Amino acid sequence: MKQILFAIFATGLSLSALAQTDSTTNEKVDTIKIGGMIIIKKGDRSDSASNREVEVRMAKRQHRKPSNITTNWGIVDLGFANYSDKTNYASAAVQQMVPGATDKDALELRTGKSVNVNVWFFMQRLNVIEHVVNLKYGLGLELNNYTYDRDLMFQKNPTRITAATEDLKKGKLAADYVTVPMLLNVNFTPKRDKGFGISGGVSAGYLYSARYKTKTGNGDKMKVHDNFDLEKFKLSYIGELNLGVVTLYGSYAFKNMWEKGLDQQPYNFGIRFSHW
């Protein structure tokens, strides 16, 4: 009961504090704010109800001013990995690397099983023009898993890709990069956290880990660690589309992912889980 009485007393005290005198007319003015609505009563309390003026106004919204630099931590991308195969399978270099291959069907991927997962430690957005044009950059890991449709084995020193001697449940090449993205962002709704916008730019990645994993029908697993003549550096065009609560991303490499032999340009696309 004491808490209720104290709340009533505090409410009355706050309302009475809003009472003020109009300096131009010397009449009493009571102001009450309820949510986004302001009620103004003019006239002395001794006046009759018909002589008191009541005005209702809507409070002005206070828009927060966006910061010139904002940071987003722990962004995750989930999508698909694939490549555009431009390999000349009749060349001697390719035949040495993939003996007996006649066309791109030899290294065709399982689309639904080849995935891309990116983990961005952070991304920052730097205001350039009125928070509409921004510069975005960050640092993270780009993880690509290429699952082949055929049963293949990867050998190292030198790299050779051959048919497996037994049926495989899975054969997957993993290529992981430390990547730095740099994008120019156009934000159509700068006053909203989950707004609409578009970004485009480039990324530079360094191959820090590669391996080929197999799994037989009996459940036996094997993992071979090697770079398999993959290019150490990966440069890509990158893009991002903000659709309110949903953000889509995509990337397409400048050039071949292999140092020699095969000619395959990787690309990724999917959904980005971000606070922007």
Residue type, 67: S
Residue type, 168: L
CA angle 137, 138, 141 (to 5 degrees): 140
Residue-level pLDDT at 39: 73
Q: Average pLDDT in the 34-44 region? A: 67
**Residue 97, beta-bridge partner list:** none
Query: HSE (CB half, 13 Å, CA atoms) of 194?
Result: 9
Residue spans of the domains in the chain: they are 2-58, 69-273
Q: What are phi and psi of 7, to 5 degrees?
A: -65, -40
How do 233-243 and 196-216 pair as beta strands?
Answer: antiparallel
Please provide the average confidence, as pLDDT, over all residues in the chain: 86
Pick from 144, 150, 156, 157: which is nearest to 171 by CA?
A: 150
Asked if residues 211 and 221 have their Cβ atoms less than 8 Å apart, the reply is no
Alpha helices, DSSP H only, in 34-168? 92-97
What the block records as the tokens of 24 is: 């131009």
- In the three-class reduction of DSSP (H, G, I as helix; E, B as strand; rest coil), residue 93 is classed as helix
In this prediction, residue 13 has a pLDDT band, given cuts at 50, 70 and 90, of very low
- Eight-state DSSP code of residue 35: T
Asked if residues 238 and 251 have their Cβ atoms less than 8 Å apart, the reply is yes
Core vs surface per residue 120-136: b (16+ CB within 10 A) or e: beebebebeeebeebbb
Residue-level pLDDT at 222: 93
Asked if residues 250 and 239 have their Cβ atoms less than 8 Å apart, the reply is yes
Residue type, 84: S
Task: For the chain, give the number of residues.
Answer: 276
How many percent of the chain have pLDDT more than 70? 80
pLDDT over threshold 70, residue 204: yes
Residue-level pLDDT at 210: 98
Distance CA 254, CA 263 (A): 12
In this prediction, residue 228 has a pLDDT band, given cuts at 50, 70 and 90, of very high
- Looking at 43-57, 100-114, 117-131, 202-216, which range is the least confident one? 43-57
Q: Average pLDDT in the 264-275 region? A: 96
- Looking at 136-145, 174-183, 219-228, which range is the least confident one? 219-228
pLDDT over threshold 90, residue 262: yes
List of residues 6+ apart from 104 with CB closer than 8 A: 85, 87, 89
pLDDT over threshold 70, residue 250: yes
Residue-level pLDDT at 94: 97
| Other Cβ atoms closer than 10 A to 239 | 16
Distance CA 111, CA 107 (A): 12
- Report the Cα 21 to chain-centroid distance in Å: 54
Distance CA 49, CA 241 (A): 58
User: pLDDT by residue (tens digit) across 59-79?
Assistant: 665 556 778 999 999 999 999
Residue-level pLDDT at 61: 57
